[in-house]
């Protein structure tokens, strides 16, 4: 079970239409697929470059994986803790590259023990209900996209905002009118507001009697004081996304009483190994925990879904990204029935790369 080789393959997957947030605009996904080879098993993982959030590009991810290969070569995967500690100690940062390797390692360990990863992690393979993201756009575009999502069977919508608060309020009003009062709405500003703008937005929607489930990352990632200011001035739960890359980040922002919950993403935290630590911290602190993804294919989202299905503390699921892709770069993995995600009952992660 010694690691013999780690190789990468780049697969470009176009989106059905352009995806826009306050931070960036995307029309295709550059999947850096990772294959870890041992005697008898090959593990599969995937990273996506999201430079504006993680600081990583396709070239930096590939370079980091080559460095990780040198550090892990010859290690026995059955010594799993040693392998994981080596992975995270061999270089600073490079969270997405580490996440791809982490996924492939967990894929192998599941295959070795002949069990789906969610069972290896202690779960029962529960189905997950994901939200559907409504890309930032004009009032008419967002209302139309929201109505279409509801028509397609989604009862929870996540709206991308983060512009001038007055404009964002109008877009939110249009979406609420388009989908009716029963549909649950989440707001993600992707760091787009100042603390005062965020509070102004929340005051305005309160006056309009517009109910939302939560407000995600209203201010700059490192502005923990700003997050606390927003939390102290609204009754809606405030969740951190880009503010939390590591277990240490999670502890710091929770200790400041700055948030009500955390959105874990494998590309930010370096994979399942660290995501488990963040989930344990949220559970111990009594704050909320949800799981999401970057705009990525179902290779990485399948890994996130296995983790989500294994941990009861994770109660929110923002795992719709593969639904934006024209053609999946892999076979197997998770499947969707409208908003319901079903996990594969195969060893490891349960997918294979096409071609």
| φ, ψ (nearest 5 deg) of residue 354 | -65, 145
Identify the three-state secondary structure at position 214: strand
Q: Domains in the chain, ordered, with CATH?
A: 5-114 (3.30.390.10), 119-353 (3.20.20.120)
Please tell me the pTM assigned to this model. 0.96
User: Is 160 among the catalytic positions?
Assistant: yes
- Residue 27, C-beta contacts closer than 8 angstroms, at least 6 positions apart: 14, 15, 17, 18, 19
Q: Is 111 a catalytic residue?
A: no
One pLDDT digit (tens) per residue for the chain, 355 residues: 899 999 999 999 999 988 888 888 888 999 999 999 999 899 999 999 999 999 999 999 999 999 999 999 999 999 999 999 999 999 999 999 999 999 999 999 999 999 999 999 999 888 999 999 999 999 999 999 999 999 999 999 999 999 999 999 999 999 999 999 999 999 999 999 999 999 999 999 999 999 999 999 999 999 999 999 999 999 999 999 999 999 999 999 999 999 999 999 999 999 999 999 999 999 999 999 999 999 999 999 999 999 999 999 999 999 999 999 998 888 899 999 999 999 999 999 998 764 3
Kindly state the tokens that stand for 189: 């500003």
Beta carbons of 53 and 294 less than 8 angstroms apart: yes
- Taking CA atoms, 113 is separated from 63, 77, 78, 152, in Å, by 31, 12, 10, 38
Which member of 98, 265, 268, 311 is catalytic? 265
Residue 114 burial (10 A CB sphere; 0-12, 13-18, 19+)? exposed
Q: What is the DSSP letter of 330?
A: E
The one catalytic residue among 160, 228, 268, 311: 160
């Amino acid at each position: 079970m010694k690691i013999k080789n780690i190789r990468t393959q780049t697969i470009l997957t176009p989106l059905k239409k352009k995806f826009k947030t306050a931070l960036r605009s995307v029309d295709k996904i550059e999947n850096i697929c990772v294959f870890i080879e041992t005697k008898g098993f090959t593990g599969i993982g995937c990273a996506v470059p999201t430079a504006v959030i993680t600081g990583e590009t396709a070239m930096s991810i590939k370079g980091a994986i080559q460095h990780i290969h040198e550090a892990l070569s010859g290690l026995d995967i059955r010594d799993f803790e040693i392998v994981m500690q080596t992975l995270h100690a061999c270089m600073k940062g490079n969270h997405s590259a580490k996440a791809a390797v982490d996924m492939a390692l967990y894929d192998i360990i599941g295959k070795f023990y002949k069990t789906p990863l969610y069972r290896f992690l202690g779960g029962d393979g529960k189905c997950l209900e994901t939200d559907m993201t409504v890309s930032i756009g004009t009032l008419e575009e967002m209302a139309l996209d929201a109505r279409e999502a509801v028509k397609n069977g989604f009862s929870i919508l996540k709206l991308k905002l983060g512009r001038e608060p007055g404009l964002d309020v109008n877009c939110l009003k249009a979406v609420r009118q388009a989908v009716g009062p029963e549909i649950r709405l989440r707001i993600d500003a992707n760091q787009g507001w100042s603390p005062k703008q965020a509070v102004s937005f929340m005051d305005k929607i309160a006056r309009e009697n517009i109910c939302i489930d939560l407000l995600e990352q209203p201010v700059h990632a490192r502005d923990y004081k700003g997050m606390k200011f927003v939390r102290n001035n609204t009754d809606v739960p405030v969740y951190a996304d880009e503010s939390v890359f590591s277990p240490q980040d999670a502890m710091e922002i929770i200790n400041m009483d700055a948030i009500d919950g955390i959105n874990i993403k494998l590309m930010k935290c370096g994979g399942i190994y660290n995501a488990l630590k963040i989930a344990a911290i949220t559970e111990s602190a009594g704050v909320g925990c949800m799981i999401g993804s970057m705009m990525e294919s179902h290779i990485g989202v399948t890994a996130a879904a296995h983790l989500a299905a294994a941990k009861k503390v994770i109660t929110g699921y923002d795992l719709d990204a593969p639904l934006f892709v024209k053609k999946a770069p892999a076979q197997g993995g998770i499947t969707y029935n409208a908003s319901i995600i079903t996990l594969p009952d195969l060893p490891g992660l349960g997918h294979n790369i096409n071609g």
